[in-house]
Structure 1
Amino acid sequence: MKHKGHKVPLGGVAEMLRHCDAQWNAYLQRLICNEKEANPLEQYKGHDLRQGLRDRGYIGLSQKQILAKRDVYVSELQAGEPPYSDTELFGTSYVLAN
């Protein structure tokens, strides 16, 4: 699969991290209304996945650091940047029943 110009192997940590990108950005948007919401990505298990989340700057942060990231994201939206979308990850397919 290709996502935002990068080849992503299916079924592994790399694919899961692409889905986590969408969850992270949705979380940043929710923080606009609820600054005290806990980071849902902190719940994920697995060394490789957690390392990938750390490398992306999604976990291991204080609430102050998270709110600063939210502020940057909101500023980008206000400047006209489109909201993050992972729609490229989801193809449309049909299952035909016999």
Structure 2
Amino acid sequence: MGFVKVNIDGSWQSNGRKVGVGVVIRNSVGEFLGGLAASRVGHSALEVEAEAAVMGLELAANLGYSDVYVESDSKTLVDGINEDIRNRAWTIRPSIEVI
């Protein structure tokens, strides 16, 4: 079946704490396999990106995919996933532990 790529993004407004999450899943040749958009409440842009990652991985798993690459525009999130738990931002530890 090959790998799938999960593109994630989040948007956050500090004044109203309204956030949006977007996920797109494509196969190794770029064909659309699934996606979602959702409104949430969040406390920071980083937390929203982390939630988007969790939602994207859950969607990929629900669609039956296990060879998954996640792509995000948040370097802080990517570094947080790849680093030792002691170096992670505490606000995203719960989400990263799910990942």
Relative to total residues, which structure has the larger helix share, 1 or 2?
Answer: 1
Q: Same fold per TM (> 0.5)?
A: no
Larger radius of gyration, structure 1 or 2? Answer: 1
Q: TM-score, normalised by structure 1?
A: 0.31
